[in-house]
Chains A and B, each alone.
Chain A
Amino acid sequence: MSDIQEATNQLLDVNLHENQRSIQMTESGPGSESEHLQVTIGATVPTGFEQTAADEVREKLRSSCKISKDRGKIYFDISVESLAQVHCLRSVDNLFVVVQEFKDYQFKETKEEVLKDFEELAGKLSWSDPLKVWKINTNFKKKKTKHKKINQNSSKEKIDNGQGDKRDEKDVKKEFTNNALDSHILDYYEKPAIKEEISTLVGDDLASCKDETDESSKEETSPEVLKFRVTCNRAGEKHCFSSNEAARDFGGAVQDYFKWKADMTNFDVEVLLNIHNNEIIVGIALTEESLHRRNITHFGPTTLRSTLAYGMLRLCAPQPTDIIVDPMCGTGAIPIEDSSISPVHHPSFYLTVECLGKRKSCEALCSWMRGATEWANCFHIAGDNNPLAVNRAANNISSLLTKSQTKGKLSCGLPIDAIQWDICNLPLRTGSVDIIVTDMPFGKRMGSKKRNWNLYPACLWEMSRVCRPRTGRAALLTQDKKCFTKALSGMGHVWQKVHTVWVNIGGLHAAVYLLKRTPQAFVHPSEQDGGRTPW
């Protein structure tokens, strides 16, 4: 048992260690059983954060990205064994595997001809590799939700079989093992659910060319008759057809080709047809649009919010031992999804301030925590002015700590704290914080535009107080751009606007403002003539 675990962990160690290794998984032993499939993965990211997502991919997958600028998509090549890590990316919303890309597709003149071409296209594409990836991915997801013991056993056997080939690599990898980081990785992957999935994932891949009658997958899907749908996104002015028409005709051809059943709601395979002017990308979805990929258990969607939170934090480029204040506001309830402690980039100290408004919950707090656990060996303090949210935070923190303890490992002591406070009056020392990441209330569902008029300047003012002069920075998300700009205009002596990222949140056009704290020290209003009021 422990040998297998160790083997698994060693294998995973290779994949997970982003900074310390440059050895790719593809350089495995001779005559290996797996095909070492290389695929192109596409990912949707919050518009404006393509570069930060690309940075994350480069860091974690050692792969460079092609960016589809301002369209919220990035593309990168990976070996299929890295699929698990792809799901661990924090800055991406949805994933798909690229079947084919047409950089300059020549559309014919008439609608009939164009649609006919689409029909013929279906049969000409090479589907087998992308479908293999889809299959692996589906098994991965299913096991996540079902936790079948059977799979664990069968996957263990596979690991055993593959162990011989991998042994050379393992020994090599041992030299690079950093004990402190090892335990972090081990802890994450020792969570029973994750361990099952990953070992299955790796095992599946190893056995992929053995046969398709893999017992664990067979019982769940009969590969012959799958249900599918085609989703077409079309953008461009010169098209003589609609996305529905393209989806319909392309889908018809796909159906004929594979003999699958078309089903718009209850589908196994979602084929993506993305058309942007003369660029066409055909792909197969690896995540479900309606369910955020991180909603593995039972909470509602925060989709953009957690990826956005993560992107915003990355924008601030946390440095070693930076002190980060992260106020997040949100609605709904999310338990902390996982207490994954990823290998540390930089040790940092996090303070999360969750505060704005009365109706508050733990959601954003938790989504922030998920994003922030990225930089492990960090110290997180989550704050909220709502006692409900704070209680929830306390529960979550306790349960996380309990989980760590039951594993019998020390390393996961979670450096998280929660405080109940008010952002307009933070109980923090002046100039003690390096980074502030916050989600200002939009004034739509929460608060009001009128209230923002007072709230925004007060927030900015207080944030400028706690933020460290000269080196401090802030990434502030808001939809109320007018109010924000006005509030900021009176604060040029403490805040300098460095960059603005335009984002689209559920149809709302919002902005992330990246601010830099000026060298000017904070002067308390009572020390100035007549004090200072917001307006």
Chain B
Amino acid sequence: MKLLTHNFLSSHVKGVGPRGFPLRLQASEVRIMPVEFNPDFVARMIPKLSLGEVPTEPIQGYEQNEDFLRTMHHILLEVEVMEGTLQCPESGRVFPITRGIPNMLLSDEQTEA
């Protein structure tokens, strides 16, 4: 599971709503997988991410800052969590990550009505 994906995942446990983001990630096994760097892609993806309480000033002009983009590229696309867990910050429900795939299935009681 890439960290870019993680940014779009949110807990869907019943009653949790927007407080289910971000899922707490614990990785026991990580792999680094090189991916072609596309600065345009990274630059445009950043506004779509939910980065929490990040001050805006330092971010201005980030599109031209190649070092920043490369770092973001590495973090978002090249780091892969192979084994670990995702935890709902609100309910504490834990979702396992096995062989790079998170299992987000809930048992019936935990789904939304």
A428 touches B8 (CB 8 A): yes
A468 to B42, CA, bound (A): 20
Per the 8 Å Cβ criterion, residues 96-113 of B in contact with A are: 99-106, 111-113
Let me know if A298 is at the binding interface, CB within 8 A.
Answer: no
A184, A397, A410, A432: which contacts B8 (Cβ < 8 A)? A432
Quick one: closest A residue to B23, CB to CB? A427
Per the 8 Å Cβ criterion, residues 1-27 of B in contact with A are: 1-2, 4-5, 8-12, 15, 17-18, 21
B34 touches A321 (CB 8 A): no
Q: Mark B10-54, 1 if CB is under 8 A from A, else 0.
A: 111001011001000000000001111010110011001010000
Q: Mark A318-341, 1 if CB is under 8 A from B, else 0.
A: 001101000000000000000000
A417, A430, A526: which contacts B5 (Cβ < 8 A)? A417
A385 to B10, CA, bound (A): 17
Quick one: closest B residue to A468, CB to CB? B48
Q: How many A-B pairs fall under 8 Å by CB?
A: 115
Given A415-B77, A432-B8, the answer on whether A347 and B41 have CB atoms closer than 8 Å is yes
Given A180-B36, A425-B12, A425-B111, the answer on whether A377 and B41 have CB atoms closer than 8 Å is yes
Residues of chain A contacted by B5 (CB below 8 angstroms) = 351, 379, 381, 417, 419
Residue in B77, B99, B113 with the greatest tally of chain A CB atoms within 10 Å: B99
Residues of chain B contacted by A323 (CB below 8 angstroms) = 8, 48
A410 touches B36 (CB 8 A): yes
Quick one: closest B residue to A418, CB to CB? B101
B36 touches A183 (CB 8 A): yes
B44 touches A321 (CB 8 A): yes
Q: Mark A416-446, 1 if CB is under 8 A from B, else 0.
A: 0111111011111110110000000000000
Quick one: closest B residue to A401, CB to CB? B33
Quick one: closest B residue to A382, CB to CB? B101
A518 to B104, CA, bound (A): 28
Let me know if A447 is at the binding interface, CB within 8 A.
Answer: no
Residues of chain A contacted by B18 (CB below 8 angstroms) = 430
Let me know if A394 is at the binding interface, CB within 8 A.
Answer: yes
A419 touches B1 (CB 8 A): yes
B38 touches A421 (CB 8 A): no
A413 touches B36 (CB 8 A): yes
B77 touches A393 (CB 8 A): no
Quick one: closest A residue to B97, CB to CB? A419
Residues of chain B contacted by A411 (CB below 8 angstroms) = 36
Q: Mark A351-383, 1 if CB is under 8 A from B, else 0.
A: 100000000000000000000000001010100
Q: Mark A377-406, 1 if CB is under 8 A from B, else 0.
A: 101010001010011011001100100000
Let me know if A525 is at the binding interface, CB within 8 A.
Answer: yes
Quick one: closest A residue to B76, CB to CB? A379
Residues of chain B contacted by A397 (CB below 8 angstroms) = 100
B106 touches A425 (CB 8 A): yes
B38 touches A429 (CB 8 A): no
B36 touches A420 (CB 8 A): no
Given A413-B77, A413-B78, A415-B77, the answer on whether A427 and B1 have CB atoms closer than 8 Å is no
Q: Mark B71-113, 1 if CB is under 8 A from A, else 0.
A: 0000001100000000000000001000111111110000111
Residues of chain A contacted by B44 (CB below 8 angstroms) = 320-321, 347
Let me know if A524 is at the binding interface, CB within 8 A.
Answer: yes
Given A394-B101, A525-B113, the answer on whether A413 and B8 have CB atoms closer than 8 Å is no
Residues of chain B contacted by A381 (CB below 8 angstroms) = 5
Quick one: closest A residue to B96, CB to CB? A420
Residues of chain B contacted by A236 (CB below 8 angstroms) = none
B8, B50, B103: which contacts A420 (Cβ < 8 A)? B103
Let me know if A349 is at the binding interface, CB within 8 A.
Answer: yes
A239 to B1, CA, bound (A): 60
A525 to B112, CA, bound (A): 10
B99 touches A394 (CB 8 A): yes
B21, B48, B112: which contacts A425 (Cβ < 8 A)? B112
Residues of chain B contacted by A506 (CB below 8 angstroms) = none
Quick one: closest A residue to B32, CB to CB? A413
A419 to B5, CA, bound (A): 10
Given A347-B40, A411-B36, the answer on whether A418 and B100 have CB atoms closer than 8 Å is yes
Residues of chain B contacted by A426 (CB below 8 angstroms) = 12
A420 touches B2 (CB 8 A): no
A66 to B40, CA, bound (A): 36
B21, B77, B103, B113: which contacts A379 (Cβ < 8 A)? B77
Residues of chain B contacted by A422 (CB below 8 angstroms) = 104-106, 111
Q: Mark B54-76, 1 if CB is under 8 A from A, else 0.
A: 00000000000000000000000
Let me know if A531 is at the binding interface, CB within 8 A.
Answer: yes
A429 touches B21 (CB 8 A): yes
Residues of chain A contacted by B77 (CB below 8 angstroms) = 379, 413, 415
Given A401-B33, A427-B10, A428-B10, the answer on whether A379 and B1 have CB atoms closer than 8 Å is no
Closest 3 CB pairs of A and B: A413-B35, A347-B41, A321-B44
17 interchain pairs, CB-CB under 8 A: A180-B38, A183-B36, A320-B44, A321-B44, A379-B5, A390-B103, A391-B99, A394-B100, A413-B78, A417-B100, A422-B105, A425-B106, A428-B8, A428-B10, A429-B10, A429-B21, A526-B17
Task: Identify 8 new A-B residue pairs, CB closer than 8 A, beyond the known A417-B100, A425-B111.
Answer: A321-B44, A379-B2, A381-B5, A413-B78, A420-B104, A421-B104, A425-B12, A427-B11
